[in-house]
Amino acid sequence: MRAKDISIDTDKLSIPEQAIEKGKVKVIVLDGVQGKAKVTEAVEHGSTIIETAKGKTAKIRYEEGELF
């Protein structure tokens, strides 16, 4: 599993420092319905897609390609 649970301080809207890595593009998904937050690394070449079902985050889909 690529996505990892993280805790968010909802009062200050701050994220943990380990969620940020120099030289990496990260995607943070906040699901207020389920009260969850996850962080994942975006693919280098392609798409990182957040899918929902019935108003909740259902899955994160990664579509990767390679430059030729």
The string of pLDDT tens digits covering residues 6-55 is 988 777 778 787 778 899 999 999 888 888 899 999 999 999 999 999 98
Q: Global pTM?
A: 0.77
pLDDT on residue 48: 95
Ordered DSSP codes for 38-60 = EEEEPPSSEEEEEEEETTEEEEE
Predicted confidence (pLDDT) at residue 59 exceeds the cutoff of 80: yes
Residues 6+ away with beta carbon under 8 Å from 67: 45
pLDDT on residue 14: 80
- Quick one: how far is CA 34 from the chain centroid? 15
- Which pLDDT band, with edges at 50, 70 and 90, does 57 fall under? very high
Q: Are 19 and 7 in contact (CB under 8 A)?
A: no
